[in-house]
Amino acid sequence: MGKVHKEIGPAVAEWISAQRMFFVATAPLAADGLINCSPKGMDSFRILGPREVAYVDLTGSGVETIAHIRENGRIVFMFCGFDGAPQIVRLHGRGTAVLPGDALFELLRSQFPEYLGARAIITATIDRVSDSCGYAVPRFEFVEQRDTLTRWSEKKGADGLRDYRQQKNIRSIAGLPGLTEPRRSP
């Protein structure tokens, strides 16, 4: 039923690229810390190489993924086949939060659509690629991507988003450092 792959090969990459959503999970080191699992959609995930991936992280109410990655780097991505053949693919690895103003951010952002609310690009070096059956995952019919977050970001504007991140994204739920004062490009 399940299989471990040496890397993200062409067949797995093609299947991942066809999925319209994924989940990203991280956890703090503290034994009593809260594990975070976030659903992601839109056109936000890229396979950069056989063991390298990235996704654009958009402004949201929490900053758990960034805070956990800054603390320990552990990350897992999960993709589920909601239509077609049942399948689940997990990518375990070590992540980095690349922030605006970093040279790598500017280099990577061209891989994604222009999202006003982009607060980071999460990159990960993948240590383990595995699939499993997904026989119990329900079938869903895709209707469309939501544009609510995009419209919210546009309504706030660049200054409003910066203020929001300063209010909501400086620390995680457990008080771990999240975003710092946004860096400016020289």
What pLDDT, on a 0 to 100 scale, did the predictor assign at position 186? 36
pLDDT digits (tens, 9 = 90+) for 80-100: 999 999 999 999 999 999 999
Residues of the chain whose pLDDT is less than 50? 182-186
Assess if CATH 3.60.110.10 describes domain 3-135+145-168. Answer: no
What is the model's pLDDT at position 184?
Answer: 43
Q: Determine the pLDDT at residue 182.
A: 45
pLDDT of residue 183: 45
- Strand bridging mode 3-5 / 22-26: unpaired
177-186 per-position pLDDT tens digit: 999 754 444 3
pTM of the model: 0.93
Q: So what's the pLDDT on residue 35?
A: 97
Tell me, what's the pLDDT at 51? 98
Give the per-residue pLDDT at 147. Answer: 95
Residue 167: what pLDDT?
94
